[in-house]
């Protein structure tokens, strides 16, 4: 039996635009997904998940993702979770040259599903690492990142950048531009996260931005403007200039709103954070609902979000410099 974990993340800058080759800077945070994998005698997968914005569920099905899980929770949530697990197992089977390997899998996650904190990338990276390890294949971090990207690409039907999976695999602050993925030096970043209890559909949101970009020049210009902003953000990060980082986060949120991926509750949390004196605040991840990230060294933003109607949870997050690991 092997347990592996990988961190979730917030986007300091650049989500959505990164899908079109612009740079992005996601940062791993100290909330992890843990995946425990035990080899079975047959080729079935049995998946038990807890804390993925679900009450918990167990599904068992034969061989591949084509099974029809019979469970008592919304099918869309089960498919969202098991789709990534299936794809992760497929990658591990391939890496270990064990195409018929079956597993009992337990997922425990501190990261809500579909909320912009990278739960799917964390589950995918940890799942690949644990399953490969259980089959005797010791994967390097780079191999996990590469295979996690392939898995996400398959589940999201070609609509994925390398940003989420590279960040979860390596940890820390990273910069991703197309195929070029690297780690960045970062100062202490006083992240405050607000969660509205909801979730966005990443595939649909990415497809929506693609359609907007194909239909309107302003949207293509907005995507390019996010890229310019990220380049300024990198300089601010290198200089440790938190005030400038905050201002650029505010601009980034405005550009994401223009691309149609914010929501009333995300905007409300962003404005509550700014009113409380945060250096900056923006939605994080695909949007549509889920989480915002703010920069604030004081307690004010956390307090303001805690009492904001519609904000279900708020917490302070630290940069996590450790990526995927065996527990």
- Residue 281 counted as an annotated binding residue: no
Alpha-helical runs (H) found in the chain: 75-96, 119-134, 141-155, 163-170, 202-215, 217-239, 242-258, 264-275, 300-306
Burial of 273: CB neighbours in 10 Å, binned 0-12, 13-18, 19+: buried
Is 112 flagged in the annotation as binding? yes
Token pair 């030096």: residue: 185
Residue 151 to residue 74: CA distance in whole angstroms: 23
Q: Which residues contact 36 (CB under 8 A, 6 or more apart)?
A: 1, 2, 3, 105, 106, 108, 130
Among 110, 133, 164, 296, binds ligand MEV (CB under 6 A): 164
Which of residues 71 and 153 has its CB atom nearest to ligand MEV in the complex?
A: 153
Name the 3-class secondary structure at 222. Answer: helix
15 binds ligand MEV (CB under 6 A): yes
Q: Considering beta carbons, is residue 226 or 281 the nearer one to ligand MEV?
A: 226
| The one segment of 13-21, 99-107, 245-253, 288-296 that binds ligand MEV by CB under 6 A | 13-21
Gap between the Cα atoms of 194 and 303, Å rounded: 11
62 is in an annotated binding site: no
**Alpha carbon distance 163, 175 (integer Å):** 8
Closest CB 177 distance from ligand MEV, rounded Å? 12
Q: From CA 286, how far away is CA 107, in angstroms rounded?
A: 22
Confirm or reject binding of residue 245 to ligand MEV (CB under 6 A): no
Q: Which residue has the closest beta carbon to ligand MEV? A: 161
Would you call 219 helix, strand, or coil by DSSP? helix
Check binding of 285 to ligand MEV (CB under 6 A): yes
Q: Which residue(s) pair with 174 in the sheet? A: 183
Query: Does residue 2 belong to the site contacting ligand MEV (CB under 6 A)?
Result: no
Mark the segment that binds ligand MEV (CB under 6 A) among 39-47, 92-100, 157-165, 239-247: 157-165
Residues in contact with ligand MEV, counted by CB under 6 A, come to a total of: 12
- 233 among annotated binding-site residues: no
Contacts with ligand MEV in 186-225 (CB under 6 A)? Answer: 202, 206
**164 is annotated as an active-site residue:** yes
Please check if 115 is assigned to a binding site: yes
Decide: 317 and 291 in contact? Cβ < 8 Å. no
Q: Is residue 124 within the footprint of ligand MEV (CB under 6 A)? A: no
The yes or no reply on residue 296 touching ligand MEV (CB under 6 A) is no
Which of 163, 173, 189, 225 touches ligand MEV by CB under 6 A?
A: 163
Q: Is 178 known as a binding-site position?
A: no
Q: Pairing between strand 45-50 and 25-40?
A: unpaired
- Tell which residue, 289, 277, 115, has the closest CA to residue 190: 277
Selected catalytic residue, list 164, 196, 296, 320: 164
**Does residue 119 touch ligand MEV according to CB under 6 A?**
no
Catalytic residues, by residue number, are 164
Residues that bind ligand MEV (CB under 6 A): 15-16, 18-19, 160-161, 163-164, 202, 206, 285-286
Annotated binding site for ATP: 112-122
């Amino acid at each position: 039996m092997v347990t592996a974990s990988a961190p979730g993340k917030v986007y300091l800058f650049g989500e959505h635009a990164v899908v079109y080759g612009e740079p992005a800077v996601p940062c791993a945070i100290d909330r992890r997904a843990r995946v425990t994998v035990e080899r079975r005698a047959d080729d079935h997968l049995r998946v038990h998940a807890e804390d993925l914005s679900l009450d918990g569920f167990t599904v068992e099905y034969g061989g591949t993702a084509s099974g029809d899980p019979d469970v008592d929770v919304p099918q869309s949530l089960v498919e969202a979770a098991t789709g990534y697990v299936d794809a992760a197992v497929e990658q591990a089977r391939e890496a270990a040259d064990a195409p018929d390997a079956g597993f009992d899998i337990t997922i425990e996650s501190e990261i809500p599903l579909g909320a912009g904190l990278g739960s799917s990338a964390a589950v995918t990276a940890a799942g690949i690492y644990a399953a490969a390890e259980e089959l005797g294949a010791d994967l390097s971090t780079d191999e996990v990142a590469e295979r996690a990207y392939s898995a996400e690409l398959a589940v999201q039907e070609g609509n994925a950048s390398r940003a989420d999976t590279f960040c979860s695999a390596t940890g820390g602050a990273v910069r991703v531009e197309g195929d070029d993925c690297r780690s960045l030096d970062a100062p202490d970043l006083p992240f405050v996260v607000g969660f509205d209890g909801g979730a966005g559909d990443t595939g649909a949101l990415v497809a929506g931005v693609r359609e907007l970009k194909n239909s309107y020049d302003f949207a293509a210009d907005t995507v390019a403007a996010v890229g310019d902003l990220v380049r300024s953000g990198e300089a601010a990060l290198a200089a440790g200039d938190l005030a400038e980082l905050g201002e650029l986060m505010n601009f980034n949120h405005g550009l994401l709103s223009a691309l149609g991926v914010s929501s009333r509750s995300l905007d409300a949390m962003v404005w509550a954070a700014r009113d409380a004196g945060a250096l900056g605040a923006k939605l994080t991840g695909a949007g549509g609902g889920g989480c915002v990230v703010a920069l604030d060294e004081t307690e004010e933003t956390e307090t303001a979000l805690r009492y904001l109607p519609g904000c279900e949870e708020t917490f302070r997050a630290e940069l996590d410099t450790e990526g995927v690991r065996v527990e």
